């Protein structure tokens, strides 16, 4: 059974922990301690095949730390999280994406999925779909609009990433 390290990155408060805990335990936690950084493990079956994921929910993304560099070196796949209710958090995704390519090497094909969270907060929404679509197609990365609270499209993120990681790392 394949095993992959997944790193969840993004600005503070965008919903990284909510997304991770929804995937791992199928719960929504309203006030998760923002300083907690934890690694979780879960098996996932995609296309009839089971893989084991180690998912690292990072914290303290106010500035890029040397620990981020360590995580990125070790990570096989990345979920870049921003909040649909906060335009500036999308800029952080671009920054993180660049850091990943800097650390992994620009010509490497790194499995990455972009997740826009808080889709349920329709009245607070700041980022329209076509803005994300334009950026994601420029970056050539898949993106999903999700809600950890409502459990919308959380599995889609992980299924997509597992498919990318299998393709990238199977024949090693
Ligand atoms: P992190 O700092 O990126 O780990 O963010 P958290 O997961 O701790 O979430 C920050 C805040 O956003 C918390 O108050 C969460 O309850 C809230 N939140 C996270 N995801 C969602 C979501 O999908 N919908 C709604 N309505 N709130 C969310
Ligand atoms: Mg958190």
- Looking from the CA of residue 18, the nearest atom of ligand 1 is 7
ipTM of the complex: 0.99
DSSP-derived secondary structure for 19-65: HHHHHHHS---TT--TT--EEEEEEEEETTEEEEEEEEE---TTS--
Tell me the CA–centroid distance for residue 135 and ligand 1, in Å.
23
Q: Looking at the predicted structure, is the pLDDT value of residue 134 above 60? A: yes
Question: For position 60, what pLDDT does the model report?
Answer: 67
- Ligand nearest the Cα atom of residue 79: 1
Average pLDDT over residues 86-109: 91
Q: What are the two backbone dihedrals, phi and then psi, of residue 65, each rounded to the nearest 5 degrees?
A: -105, 170
Report the alpha-carbon distance of residue 148 to residue 151 in Å, rounded: 5
Q: Looking at the predicted structure, is the pLDDT value of residue 172 above 50? A: no
Residue 92: count of CB within 10 angstroms of its CB: 22
Ligand 1 proximal residues by C-beta, below 6 Å: 10, 12-18, 30-32, 34, 117-118, 120-121, 147-149
Q: Looking at the predicted structure, is the pLDDT value of residue 15 above 70? A: yes
Average pLDDT over residues 91-116: 92
**Percent of the chain whose pLDDT exceeds 90:** 81
Question: For position 171, what pLDDT does the model report?
Answer: 55
Tell me the CA–centroid distance for residue 29 and ligand 2, in Å.
11
| CATH of segment(s) 2-170 | 3.40.50.300
Question: For position 25, what pLDDT does the model report?
Answer: 96
- Its pTM stands at 0.96
Question: Best mutation site among 15, 17, 90, 126 for ligand 1, i.e. most ligand atoms within 8 A of its Cβ?
Answer: 15
Q: What are the two backbone dihedrals, phi and then psi, of residue 10, each rounded to the nearest 5 degrees?
A: 160, 170
């Amino acid at each position: 059974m394949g095993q992959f390290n997944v790193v969840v990155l993004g600005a503070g408060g965008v919903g990284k922990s909510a997304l991770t805990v929804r995937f791992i335990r199928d719960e929504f936690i309203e006030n998760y301690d923002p300083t907690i950084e934890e690694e979780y493990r879960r098996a996932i079956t995609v296309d009839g095949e089971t893989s084991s994921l180690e998912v690292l929910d990072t914290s303290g993304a106010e500035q890029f730390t040397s620990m981020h560099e360590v995580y990125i070196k070790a990570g096989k796949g990345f979920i870049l999280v921003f909040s649909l209710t906060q335009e500036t958090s999308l800029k952080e995704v671009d920054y993180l994406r660049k850091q990943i390519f800097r650390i992994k090497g620009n010509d490497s094909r790194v499995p990455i999925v972009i997740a826009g969270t808080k889709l349920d907060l329709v009245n607070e929404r700041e980022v329209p779909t076509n803005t994300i679509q334009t950026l994601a197609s420029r970056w050539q990365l898949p993106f999903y609009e999700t809600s950890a609270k409502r459990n919308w499209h959380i599995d889609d993120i992980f299924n997509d990433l597992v498919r990318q990681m299998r393709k990238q790392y199977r024949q090693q």
